[in-house]
Chains A and B, each alone.
Chain A
């Protein structure tokens, strides 16, 4: 049922209320702060915890990753594919490390699961691509954050 609101006789002509409303919009136009962020020149400030494009942390040009397979196991989107290999000094390392950027849901669970502090999510959020993009190992080894 419609609730019957009490309207005074003069309110029924809407005029006073309309003028009040017009004043509100005019006040907004003249004095209010613009909400627009003009993108290429201005950027939105995200938190340090923001989860953006991935990278694998490396020390002295050697990746921290030991291909322990914890991140593909924990990944809910199943977007991480690792092929493990062995170095001459018998250390395990990823021969292939691929992240399907369209499947990734940026939950950050790989980052949490990683025991070697290797996979990280940077602050970069401009990741638009023209085709389906799989991040290869070389791409991921670019250090694009300092987490």
Chain B
């Protein structure tokens, strides 16, 4: 396992080479390599069990791995997990965001387009799916991270709420020059809100620019079939 910092390469924030993760004698990730430019958004795509969440856990140093993960110097990571258990815990949004005692709740909520008046005193467990995801983004941003890892941003969120959440992420990326890594299943999200795509299925199936997802030949590599109409198939 080797976590390090990259030297003299201002353009890139993350360099992963030959990353493999084995859990309970099963290979979850095999020889994954990719590089990510600063201030860009990477969508991580793949079927269930493809190793997407494990990739994030490895990037956060939460699971043992072999290979190399190099973050740029002075990188600060904010993490938004897919599942959190809040239903039975009487914790208000204000308390959750003030975890480190030095957070202005109002200014934490405004970047994620939530009003202090409406949600600050509410218990986390009674928030809608969309509100909860936004509060989680706000929480991840409290440390002023320059990298945001976002595991399935639309879990528990209705379709109408998905777009504003991604618009918020996109805005954060532009305004604060945050690098975003997000796990998603949605081709539309990949195309609209990410710059690069990493398709996983244990190993890397595809890594390249996100707009390539509309290319039928790339879709066949990722999904084994064409899943939606898009750009003409240049390889045909």
A and B from one complex: no
Q: Using CB atoms and an 8 Å cutoff, list the residues of chain B in contact with chain A.
A: none
